[in-house]
Chains A and B, each alone.
Chain A
Amino acid sequence: MMQRFPALAGFILFAAVMLIAIPLLLAGQGYWLTVLTTAALLAFGSIGVWLTFAIGRINIAQGAFALIGGYVVAILCTRYHTSFWIALPLSVLAAMLVATLVGWPILRLRGVYFAMITLSLTEVASLAFLNGGSFTEGASGITSIPRPALLSSSLAIYIASALLLLIGIVVAWRFAVSPAGAVFRSLRQGEELAASLGINIARYRLLAFIASSGMGGAAGAMFAAFQQNIFPTSYTVNDSVNFMLYCFLGGLQSVAGPVVGAFLLVIAFQLLSAIQRFQALLYGIFMIAAMLFLPNGLMSLPQLLLARRDRRADAVPPR
């Protein structure tokens, strides 16, 4: 993977935009801060899904973990008056715990089968919280979650979300270039081969899945604090599919993919709201066009264009 544009420079630029430029430019604009907060948190969740893609699994369960994270925060902060800053790590732990229990048996499946099971998991989570009786308050959901200390303004929430995203990018990135990341890549290319080399593939797969779910849980926890409510329908199959789509659209080669995908689609959708009537239709068309012409994601665009330029430059006249 030859990057013409040094990845580190790209990251620093992104961080500068997120943490300096945007707060300066958009300080009073609640609307755009909300949009960018949503994009940042969804991007964070998508990075998790990207991690499972890295081991060759199509993960349509992220919505379930977002629900778990959100409910943990909701229940702890409303019923037990816990501080959000304690509830947040607890929600991540809860998501990871469930991921361990559930992931262990299902990760040996692959392809469509794994995808379908994870899709079912999202439904199970939603239905379970719906039928949770007085513990989860069922269909009415949990509302009036207090805003966390230190996060009372839209700007503060945005900065917290942006920080979370940047941390997530760094962690995923370091991971990808670490020995464990190399193992992941080998898993994607050939599990049998990796196993024959003595690598405990089950452990690595589980690791990726747990990390992914932890990120989903954190995203859900942040959303719950940000929106101050959670319902069993807060995350549906649609949302799980969206996490997956953001990864795809951006491209699966690097961690920048899901981030680009999430920001692009969230912002595009908002911009389209001006033409409300055609919003969803254009969105669908845009998706298909992206699939057709850039099936490897938007991040492959620079390489595609460069490759085309090089091909033209080196074009050998036909004999």
Chain B
Amino acid sequence: MAQILIDGCVLAASYALIALGITLIFSIMRLLNFAHGELFMIGAFMVYYVYGAWHLPFAVGLLVAALVPALIGAGFEKFLFRRVMRIATREENTMLLAVGTAILLDNVALFLFGEEQHGVPETISGVLQIEGGFLPYQRLLVVVMSLVLIALLLLFVQYSRPGRAMRALAQDRDAALLMGVDVDRTSMLGFAIGAGLAGLAGGLLVTIQGVNAGIGVDISIKAFIMIMIGGAGVVSGALLGALVLGFAESVGYALLPGSETYLLIFVALVLFLIVRPQGIMGHPWG
């Protein structure tokens, strides 16, 4: 029982960073970032190279894990999405571009990094035992750091000027324009931060999961599930979605030995979305 709780918490915390990133991008640009998982993967690879292969401090690795995906995200927004959003006649075109960016990053990563699985040495070793459950210190570290980063992000979005601009943009794009918000810059910043969060999540999780060039798609799908559950475009929704998915997995696997768990998760998701398409916390959005 304790193990189920521990696992649920660890999963939820790690997933939360991913969910927040994709929610941020969605709230500002109404765009589902299909490449989110790939940005996560790139962040993980950054930590692998900086910390695992070149033996620089882990903190430096995390910094690079945030910066590189952030730069890629900013680049995508400025050179790809901004242009297409202006000239496309249908809203699906941006979604398609997002799919294209995901395919591109997947293949570039495979080309640059190779197909092998990689891992990094632990930053803390040892396992804590609580009430019969096992919690490796590395996982505890990931949880703590995730919570810290989430808190920092929330503070940033709530109190800083760019953060307020992003919230304004998310609430009402036209009104924000009228109020003098620089839409282009704010969008770029939002995409960069969202991408950076994905990269950070990857960088943190590589210490417990390793990385290979193929994990992008699956992380993206998990991200989608979370914002579908919690509600796209709402921060509380993202956190809720992470909680629900994390615990659904941990409880599910404990009760059902295998493939049925994910089948049930998906069926439950579809039924839930039929009843409440905007997710738990989302605003109805057609």
Give yes or no for direct A-B contact (beta carbon below 8 Å): yes
Binds B, one of A32-40, A155-163, A167-175, A285-293: A285-293
Tell me what chain B mostly uses at the interface: helix, strand, loop, or mixed: helix
Q: How far is the CB of A266 from chain B (nearest CB, A)?
A: 16
Chain A 103-131 residues near chain B, CB threshold 8 A: 105-106, 109-113, 115-117, 119-121, 123-124, 127-128, 130-131
| Residue contact A287 to B103, C-beta cutoff 8 Å | yes
| Residue contact B96 to A111, C-beta cutoff 8 Å | no
B97 — which chain A residues lie within 8 A by C-beta? 288, 291-292, 295
Q: Choose one: A105, A110, A127, A285; the contact of B266 (CB below 8 Å).
A: A127
Chain A 268-319 residues near chain B, CB threshold 8 A: 278, 280-281, 283-285, 287-288, 290-292, 295-296
Q: Choose one: B100, B101, B110, B267; the contact of A280 (CB below 8 Å).
A: B110
Bound-state CA distance A248–B93 (Å) is 8
Q: How far is the CB of B113 from chain A (nearest CB, A)?
A: 13
Q: How far is the CB of A231 from chain B (nearest CB, A)?
A: 14
The residue in chain B whose Cβ has the minimal distance to the Cβ of A188 is B90
| Residue contact A113 to B92, C-beta cutoff 8 Å | no
Q: Choose one: B96, B232, B259, B277; the contact of A131 (CB below 8 Å).
A: B259
Q: How far is the CB of B168 from chain A (nearest CB, A)?
A: 21
| Residue contact A288 to B80, C-beta cutoff 8 Å | yes
| Residue contact A241 to B99, C-beta cutoff 8 Å | yes
B93 — which chain A residues lie within 8 A by C-beta? 248, 291, 295-296
Tell whether A47 is near chain B: CB-to-CB under 8 Å.
no
Tell whether B244 is near chain A: CB-to-CB under 8 Å.
no
B108 — which chain A residues lie within 8 A by C-beta? 281, 284
| Residue contact A281 to B107, C-beta cutoff 8 Å | yes
Q: How far is the CB of A282 from chain B (nearest CB, A)?
A: 8
| Number of residues from A at the complex interface, CB < 8 A | 41
| Residue contact A127 to B274, C-beta cutoff 8 Å | no
| Residue contact B277 to A284, C-beta cutoff 8 Å | no
Q: Choose one: B101, B232, B270; the contact of A288 (CB below 8 Å).
A: B101
Q: Choose one: A110, A117, A291; the contact of B96 (CB below 8 Å).
A: A291
| Residue contact B100 to A124, C-beta cutoff 8 Å | no
A238 — which chain B residues lie within 8 A by C-beta? 217
| Residue contact A295 to B87, C-beta cutoff 8 Å | yes
Known: A111-B285, A245-B99. A295 touches B259 (CB 8 A): no
B90 — which chain A residues lie within 8 A by C-beta? 252, 296
Per-position binary interface string of chain A over residues 182-219, scored 1 when its CB falls under 8 Å from any chain B CB and 0 otherwise = 00000000000000000000000000000000000000
Q: How far is the CB of B150 from chain A (nearest CB, A)?
A: 24
| Residue contact B266 to A123, C-beta cutoff 8 Å | yes
Bound-state CA distance A121–B266 (Å) is 8
B100 — which chain A residues lie within 8 A by C-beta? 284, 287-288, 290-291
Q: How far is the CB of A43 from chain B (nearest CB, A)?
A: 18
Bound-state CA distance A25–B52 (Å) is 56
Tell whether A72 is near chain B: CB-to-CB under 8 Å.
no
A131 — which chain B residues lie within 8 A by C-beta? 259-260, 263
Q: How far is the CB of A50 from chain B (nearest CB, A)?
A: 12
Tell whether A225 is near chain B: CB-to-CB under 8 Å.
no
The residue in chain B whose Cβ has the minimal distance to the Cβ of A119 is B224
The residue in chain B whose Cβ has the minimal distance to the Cβ of A285 is B104
B273 — which chain A residues lie within 8 A by C-beta? 106, 109, 113, 116-117, 120
Q: Choose one: B32, B91, B270; the contact of A117 (CB below 8 Å).
A: B270
B107 — which chain A residues lie within 8 A by C-beta? 280-281, 283-284
Q: Choose one: B83, B92, B269, B270; the contact of A248 (CB below 8 Å).
A: B92
Tell whether B106 is near chain A: CB-to-CB under 8 Å.
yes
| Residue contact A296 to B88, C-beta cutoff 8 Å | yes
| Residue contact A124 to B270, C-beta cutoff 8 Å | yes
Tell whether B27 is near chain A: CB-to-CB under 8 Å.
no
Tell whether B151 is near chain A: CB-to-CB under 8 Å.
no
A285 — which chain B residues lie within 8 A by C-beta? 104
Bound-state CA distance A283–B106 (Å) is 11
Bound-state CA distance A271–B188 (Å) is 37
The residue in chain A whose Cβ has the minimal distance to the Cβ of B89 is A296
Tell whether B286 is near chain A: CB-to-CB under 8 Å.
yes
Interface residues of B (CB under 8 A from A): 32, 80, 83-84, 87-93, 95-97, 99-101, 103-104, 106-108, 110-111, 217, 221, 224-225, 228, 232, 259-260, 262-263, 266-267, 269-270, 273-274, 277-278, 285-286
30 A–B contacts, CB within 8 A, in A order: A53-B92, A58-B92, A105-B274, A109-B277, A111-B286, A113-B228, A113-B277, A115-B95, A116-B228, A117-B273, A119-B221, A120-B225, A120-B270, A124-B267, A127-B259, A130-B263, A238-B217, A241-B99, A245-B96, A245-B99, A278-B111, A280-B107, A280-B110, A281-B110, A283-B103, A285-B104, A287-B103, A291-B84, A292-B83, A295-B88
Known pairs A105-B274, A112-B95, A284-B106 / 14 extra A-B pairs, C-beta < 8 Å:
A110-B286, A111-B285, A113-B228, A113-B277, A115-B32, A119-B224, A120-B225, A120-B228, A120-B266, A248-B92, A281-B108, A288-B80, A295-B96, A296-B88
